Chains A and B, each alone.
Chain A
């Protein structure tokens, strides 16, 4: 008898599907049925929608209400359909002109009094809606900043159901002046100037930031491993807009905006605790699949403190994303792919008691314990780590120095310069960082100078490095060369890279 439809978006990982919300109000006993594989939170929408309608002085149709979310085969979850269902219902009840809601996508959870509450996944939803040819979206006011990233769409942030109804009926709405996109690109809380001494580790962090090389910091407790790792994002160049949007989309699905602003250009840093599970690390879940730590660290830093303490298999689960830059999660509802291009930073004590440095006089561990401890970092994992640095305990000279170390700003300027050089070199080649140079290109066009190559071939003959190790060293050498603005890696650059790769073997 009375029928209406509007649009919303269902998310499966980062992939959005535009969902048609259809409402039919038929004669019969008052009742409400919701079709289209809703989960528990979505099934409860009935009571939220009803209370919101009644409390906004609208009329709840005391008839047989059928709500269908199509495509019906797609499992839907969460509370973000509330607003779309409510608007469609009122439209089917002929209190809103049908034609006004046809080309608008509605997102938002309703509170019982009609306020529109923020939801997860607004940005990926809008991206999907835009791809489907919808150019107008009503979003919760609290998600306005995030939604604003879709600059090609008309975004209408709304506080309350009454405002939405007023807009749909009369076309009037509070004139929200277009919010200027103001990117945040600095974090004043952390600075490399805080780190005392540690010149080797500082250099390694800088090289890691330049070339995207993974890094392992080994040192006793209290030497500053965590301090250094936490400050690596502050020396990385600001994200490009595209990168920032990718980061925000992933964080939007995980709902982590309490920790990170949606309009931040700062590289994210995620530091999962060493007791974390494999699923928390790579993502997963049974019916709502959430991105894991490695996807939240996309375009940023994944920092794992006390890496050898991780349960076996947790670190190794990162091997595949390290290789491919993305992670595919297979569950019964489908296969999802999340991006996962991160800089891996591991920190470890040298032994279980942590005192096996220098001469190791205070160490209480047995020789076997010491050997076994770092052995927990598996061979294949260690092979992917180009920079392995000993962080020595800070001495009295470093501590007593009044002057501070170099600040993040200074280092960052160098990193940006070096990345620029690399970017120009790789223009049109399909990669941008030294750590991404394919092996074929390394052997043909990106060879270090002759003397350095001879040195590496000698090492190869002596079996102190492997063929893959040789390639890894050359990639790191390119980062040193970019830092020193050398056209090709010199002998010094290659030696530095070789030393940084270290002899810490699993």
Chain B
């Protein structure tokens, strides 16, 4: 059996979060947007006109603590800078936005659970 790489784990997690956001009627406007400062996993536009910039953390085990604990304040502020950069480059500067984080825990049988937190900054 082929070993699943960390990259693939991340992709599975992001896919799961996209399905979750779609089920909440949010429009996915960007994925894996990357500049020199870093990357935003998912950019979604909710029906109310608020952009959500989502950091996805995927784990196969809870042995290393809660996934979202790895987002420290520094990382959260970096996401905010990235979000502003995205808005600026897409002509939406000044729009309402929020920074969200999603923790995805994958089980061996392919099922998963999502812990979605809004407005983490």
Contact = CB atoms under 8 A, between A and B. Distances in A.
B5 to A, nearest CB: 27
B109 to A, nearest CB: 23
Contacts of B76: 29
Contacts of B120: 28-29
A62 B117 CA distance: 11
B101 interface: yes
B96 to A, nearest CB: 18
**Secondary structure dominating the interface of A:** loop
Q: Which of A27, A29, A62 has the most CB of B within 10 A?
A: A29
Nearest to A62: B66
A30 B69 CA distance: 6
A27 B68 contact: no
Contacts of A62: 66, 68-69
Contacts of A27: 117-119
Interface string A1-34: 0000000000000000000000000011110000
B119 A28 contact: yes
A30 B119 CA distance: 13
A27 B101 CA distance: 11
B68 A29 contact: yes
B68 A30 contact: yes
A72 B4 CA distance: 51
Instruction: Sort chain B's interface into a size bin.
Output: 10 to 19
Interface residues of A, number: 5
Contacts of B66: 30, 62
Contacts of B69: 29-30, 62
A179 to B, nearest CB: 43
Contacts of A29: 68-69, 71, 76, 101, 117, 120
Nearest to A29: B120
A30 B62 CA distance: 14
Contacts of B71: 29
Interface in B94-121: 101, 117-120
A375 B71 CA distance: 69
Contacts of A30: 66, 68-69
B28 to A, nearest CB: 23
A368 to B, nearest CB: 70
B57 to A, nearest CB: 11
Nearest to A60: B66
A28 B100 CA distance: 9
Contacts of B118: 27
A503 to B, nearest CB: 75
Nearest to B99: A29
A448 B54 CA distance: 93
Contacts of A28: 117, 119-120
B63 to A, nearest CB: 13
Nearest to B72: A29
A73 B38 CA distance: 41
B82 to A, nearest CB: 16
A30 to B, nearest CB: 5
Interface in B10-61: none
A62 B66 CA distance: 7
A115 B117 CA distance: 34
Contacts of B119: 27-28
A27 B76 CA distance: 15
A321 to B, nearest CB: 50
Nearest to B62: A62
Interface of B: 66, 68-69, 71, 76, 101, 117-120
19 contacts: A27-B117, A27-B118, A27-B119, A28-B117, A28-B119, A28-B120, A29-B68, A29-B69, A29-B71, A29-B76, A29-B101, A29-B117, A29-B120, A30-B66, A30-B68, A30-B69, A62-B66, A62-B68, A62-B69
Interface of A: 27-30, 62
Given A27-B117, A27-B118, A62-B66, 13 more contacts: A27-B119, A28-B117, A28-B119, A28-B120, A29-B69, A29-B76, A29-B117, A29-B120, A30-B66, A30-B68, A30-B69, A62-B68, A62-B69
